[in-house]
Amino acid sequence: MKRLRIPSTIAMIIVIATVAVLSWGCKKQPKCGCDGDALDTLRLIHVNISYDVDNKTARFSVLGDPYAVYYFCNPSEWMSQLSKFEQGEEILISGPYYYECNYLMNSSNSPYYYGMRIYQINVTAVAEYEFGK
């Protein structure tokens, strides 16, 4: 019995060490910015829009998630359509979104980063929200 105990103990130690080494490896941090790694894609999501025609900037927050803000990667492409809507109006937006680089840097440097989540989105569609109209 003692002869089998030693090899099985050694095998168990090797298995545990292998699992520990594989799970502790470095994880790839997503590339940030509009040309980075897309986190996901919004598909006609209900948002509150805010834009500045003079400076050609646009941003929105998803209804039901006030702790995240999305900035347009391509606001000048959509400014003519966005200007049809009032500031703060509820509209529908689609497109892949990415981490904003400053947000990603700040959140990765602190284990307790509780700031507003900031993303950038490459908008592919804008539509009027017609429910109740």
Q: Could you tell me the two tokens for 27?
A: 């994880």
Domain ranges of the chain: 28-128
Could you tell me the two tokens for 84? 């049809």
Residue 26 has a pLDDT of 63
Q: Which residue has the tokens 């790839």?
A: 28
- The CATH classification of domain 28-128, taken from the options 2.10.240.10, 2.40.50.500, 2.40.50.100, 3.30.1490.20: 2.40.50.500
The dihedral over CA atoms of 121, 122, 125, 129, expressed in degrees to the nearest 10, equals 10
Write down the pLDDT at residue 133. Answer: 65
Q: Read off the pTM.
A: 0.73
Taking the C-alpha atoms of residue 118 and residue 98, their distance in angstroms, rounded to an integer, is 9
| Mean pLDDT per 10-residue section of the chain, whose length is 133 residues | 69 72 64 88 94 92 91 92 91 94 73 76 92 70
Residue 96: per-residue pLDDT: 96
CA distance 76 to 81: 10
Number of neighbours of residue 91 by Cβ within 10 angstroms: 21
Q: Which residue is it, tokens 């509209």? A: 91
